[in-house]
Amino acid sequence: MIPFAYPALGLTAAHLDRGANTVLVVEDEPVVCELAAEALLDEGYRVLTAADAWEAEEILARESVDLLFTDIDLARNTNGIALARLARCQCPDLPVVYTSGGRAELSHGEAVAQSVFVPKPYRPSQLVALTNDILGGSAPHHA
């Protein structure tokens, strides 16, 4: 089982600061996507959003992304697990955080290496803390 992100861890929108780390949020529930994006924008991250893996793949082809935050079961029968594998082919060191309301865990065999799983429901503050933990002290992971 891959590690969970716990709360104790210390809209296509782009933040105007191009020097900020970029987070791609892939979520097919508009309200959930907006909440996650707003929390990350408020923290100073540049945020891109997609409703399914196909939209996310288009974004990954043209943008440098520092962290992929993806739901597992997405619209149009697309899949966040397959998306993460594709993203890692393009950028082997890309941090990946999975989320799902339909599962309690994600096995190592399903997930890309060194990824994290956050079960839904999660708090926006939990996502921000996890993102800060992952990206806070590291150099950007550009494709």
Q: Identify the architecture of domain 22-134 in CATH.
A: 3-Layer(aba) Sandwich (3.40)
Q: What is the tens place of the pLDDT at every residue in 107-141?
A: 888 999 999 999 999 999 999 999 999 998 443 44
Q: What is the tens place of the pLDDT at every residue in 76-91?
A: 999 999 999 999 999 9
Instruction: Tell me the one-letter amino acid at 111.
Output: A
Interaxial angle between packed helices 30-42 and 124-135, expressed in degrees from 0 to 180 and rounded to the nearest 10: 50
pTM (2 d.p.): 0.83
Domain boundaries, the chain: 22-134
